[in-house]
């Protein structure tokens, strides 16, 4: 399956590349306000509503019935992994021209797409403990960049993102064990001394970009009736030489698959972590 991406468009007036680049270089993250139009947000929302209604896709989306969820809404509405591998709408939005335009400026390189995900995060869902994305992607010699697009308004009340500024230069850490009452994944990277996680309050259509070493996570959705849906993608510079096997093939801006070398490095936890840890990976 391949698609063709359109030429880079004029960005919305709310997206100022110079300001984004300065924030990304200084703090490790940047926000593109209103990068996705209302129509694009609605198309993504409708598409993943359809996917949820159509049931399981083994290996990618494996929900259970409300009766079998035992009160855990994330079992009824689990995240969708790599939807671009089987869904044309997801594949098209993975190479969204506005996202690629921002990424080229932030990376100062051309871009390859590595991963797509969709989170429903219904009311009552646990969050994801603080972590670093390149622990999972193993991008070498540089790092990955996430593009986290809000499909619903996201804030601390419905389990929005938290990010620790100025951690893009931190070494990738071997995680500790997360609090299972708060996090659906088991990995936890503590916030460095003297730094503090800040909430990222986003409107539907805003996209948060952040470096693969930046420490980030999300809290539980404590709202009674608000989903916190998000479309999350990871990208690497075109000059990347190696990546974890779970993210291959990569996708070019033109929508063509491309292979690079597999990174067999064990990372900071040693040589046995990779396969078992992969499905923890990604972003909230």
In degrees and rounded to multiples of 5, residue 18 shows phi and psi of -60, -40
Q: Is residue 92 part of a domain?
A: yes
Count Cα atoms within 13 angstroms, Cβ side, for 256: 3
Determine if the peptide bond prior to 260 is cis (ω within 30°). no
Mean pLDDT of 20-28: 97
CATH number of the domain encompassing residue 162 = 2.60.120.620
Q: Is residue 2 part of a domain?
A: no
Say how many domains are in the chain: 1
Q: Is residue 1 part of a domain?
A: no
Q: Is residue 4 part of a domain?
A: no
Count Cα atoms within 13 angstroms, Cβ side, for 283: 34
pLDDT of 280 > 90? The answer is no
Work out the pLDDT band at 265, boundaries 50, 70, 90.
confident
Taking the mean position of all CA atoms in its chain, how far away is CA 84? 13
Q: Is residue 143 part of a domain?
A: yes
DSSP lists the bridge partners of residue 111 as 237
Count Cα atoms within 13 angstroms, Cβ side, for 223: 17
Q: Is residue 9 part of a domain?
A: no
Question: Which domain covers residue 37, as residue numbers?
Answer: 17-277
Taking the mean position of all CA atoms in its chain, how far away is CA 267? 20
Q: For residues 215 and 6, which has the higher predicted lDDT (pLDDT)?
A: 215
Query: What's the predicted TM-score (pTM) here?
Result: 0.93
Q: For residues 269 and 237, which has the higher predicted lDDT (pLDDT)?
A: 237
pLDDT of 134 > 80? The answer is yes
Q: Is residue 58 part of a domain?
A: yes
| Packing angle, helices 97-107 and 17-27, rounded to 10 | 50
Tell which residue, 210, 108, 208, has the closest CA to residue 169. 210
Work out the pLDDT band at 177, boundaries 50, 70, 90.
very high
Which strands, in side-by-side order, build the sheet including 128-131?
Answer: 128-131, 216-218, 161-163, 198-200
Q: Is residue 239 part of a domain?
A: yes
Question: Given this model, what pLDDT does residue 9 score?
Answer: 61
């Amino acid at each position: 399956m391949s698609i063709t991406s359109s030429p880079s468009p004029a960005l919305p007036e709310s997206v100022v590349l110079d300001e984004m680049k300065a924030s990304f270089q200084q703090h490790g993250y940047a926000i593109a306000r209103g990068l996705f139009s209302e129509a694009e947000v609605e198309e993504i929302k409708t598409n993943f509503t359809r996917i949820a209604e159509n049931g399981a896709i083994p290996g990618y989306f494996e929900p259970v019935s409300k009766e079998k969820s035992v009160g855990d809404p994330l079992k009824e509405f689990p995240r969708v992994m790599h939807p671009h591998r089987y869904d044309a709408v997801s594949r098209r939005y993975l190479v969204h021209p506005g996202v690629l335009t921002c990424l080229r400026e932030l990376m100062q390189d051309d871009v390859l797409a590595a991963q797509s995900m969709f989170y429903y995060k219904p009311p009552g869902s646990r969050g994801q403990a603080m972590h670093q994305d390149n622990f999972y992607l193993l991008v070498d010699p540089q790092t990955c960049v996430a593009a986290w697009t809000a499909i619903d308004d996201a804030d601390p009340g419905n389990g929005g993102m938290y990010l620790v500024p100025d951690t893009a230069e931190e070494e990738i850490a071997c995680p500790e064990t997360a609090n299972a009452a708060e996090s659906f994944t088991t990995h936890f990277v503590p916030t460095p001394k003297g730094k503090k996680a800040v909430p990222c309050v986003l409107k539907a259509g805003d996209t948060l970009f952040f470096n693969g070493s930046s420490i980030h996570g999300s809290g539980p959705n404590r709202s009674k009736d608000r989903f916190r849906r998000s479309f999350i993608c990871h990208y690497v510079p075109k000059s990347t030489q190696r990546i974890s096997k779970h993210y291959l093939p990569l996708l070019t801006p033109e929508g063509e698959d491309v292979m690079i070398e597999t990174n067999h490095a064990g990372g900071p936890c040693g040589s046995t972590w990779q396969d078992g840890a992969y499905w923890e990976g990604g972003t909230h």
